[in-house]
Amino acid sequence: MASSSPHEPYVIEVNEQNFAAEVVEASDRVPVIIDFWATWCGPCKTLGPMLEKLAEQYGGAFKLCKVDVDQNQQLAGYFQVQSIPMVMAIYKRAPVNEFTGALPRQEVERWIESVFEAAGLPATPKAAEQAPTDPAAAEAWYRQKLGQNAEDSAARLGLARILMTRGEAEDAEALLHAIPGAAPEYGAALATLALKELVVEVGQAGGDAAVRERHSANPEDVDAAYLAALADGTAGRYSVALEVLLSQIQTGKAPVRERAKKSAQILFQAAGRGDAEIERLRRKLATLLY
C-alpha cells in the first residue's frame, strides 16, 4: 500500500506483499533505500522524517521504502535486522550499503552520496517537479524542459512515453536511446523499449487512467482486467501484471489465452532474471504451457 505521506511518490510503505514490486523491481530503475523502523522506536522518529525530506529533496533520484519490522517480521528476519533504525540501499537488485542508528543529517547525506557513487550514478538533489496529467499539456511541459536542457533524461523519458502511446515509436525510441547508462532513468528507458508494444496498446485503449477506471467500474470484464494488467506491467509492476495474465492463460478461452501469453512473454523479458517472485511466475507459466 502506498504511503499517505505528503512526500509521495518518493516514500512508500512496504510490506511482505508488495516488497518484490516496490523494492526489488524498482531497484532496476533507481537506488532504493529501505528504512527498517517500528512505532515504539524513538530514534526512528528522528531519522524517518529526515529520510523523507531527503527523498523529496532528491526529487525521485532514489526511492525510500519504509518497513515496519513489527508488521513484517519475515522481511526483518530475511535482512537480519538486529537493531533499528536500520537503513539499507539496494540498486540493480543488489545491496549497496547500510547503516544502523539515527545519524546526524550531514552524515546521512554523505551516506546517500556514497550510495550513488557506488552505483555509478550522479547524486544531484533537485526539487520535485510533476508533469501535468493531461497528455497534451505534459508533452508541452516535457518539450519546454528539453528546450531548457537537451540532456534532461527525465524529460526525454516522459516525452518518449507520450509519443509511444500514440504510435510515434521512431521518435520515442530516439529519445530513449539518447538516455545515458549513468542516468537514473536508464533502467526505465530500457523497460519502455522492451514494453513498447504494450505501451502502445494501453495508449490505444485511452491511456493508464482510462483502463484503470474501466477495470474499477467492472472488475469482471476480462478485457478491462487485461488492459489494467498491461498498465501495471508498463509501469514496472511486473509481478502484479503477470499474476493477472497467467490467470487468464489458465482459465481464458483461446483468444484470451493467446493474447495474455504474448504479453506475459514481453513482461518476462522486461523483468529480467533473478527476482524470486518473477522466477516463480516464470515456472508457473512453463507449467501452464507445457
The Cα–Cα gap between 53 and 284 comes to: 41
44, 69, 154, 159: which one is catalytic? 44
The Cα–Cα gap between 261 and 235 comes to: 19
Which amino acid, one-letter code, is at 146? Answer: L
Which amino acid, one-letter code, is at 184? Answer: P
For the chain, which domains are there? Answer: 11-119 (3.40.30.10), 133-194 (no CATH), 196-290 (1.25.40.10)
The Cα–Cα gap between 203 and 210 comes to: 9
Q: Active-site residue 65, yes or no?
A: no
The Cα–Cα gap between 55 and 31 comes to: 11
Is 179 in contact with 186 (CB distance < 8 Å)? yes
| Per-residue pLDDT tens digits of the chain, which is 290 residues long | 333 333 345 788 999 898 998 899 989 988 999 999 999 999 999 899 889 888 877 877 899 999 999 999 999 999 899 899 999 999 998 988 999 998 888 788 889 988 988 888 876 654 445 677 677 888 999 999 899 888 888 889 889 888 877 768 889 999 999 998 877 677 778 877 878 888 888 888 888 888 989 999 998 999 999 999 998 888 778 888 999 999 999 998 889 999 999 999 888 877 766 677 888 888 888 888 76
12, 41, 240, 270: which one is catalytic? 41
- SS3 label, residue 287: helix
Query: What number of other Cβ atoms are within 10 A of residue 75's Cβ?
Result: 19
Hey, which residues does 87 pair with through a beta bridge?
A: 35, 99
Cell numbers 552520496 correspond to 113
b/e per residue 205-238 (b: at least 16 CB within 10 A): bebbeebbebbeeeeeeeebbbbbbbbbbbbbbb
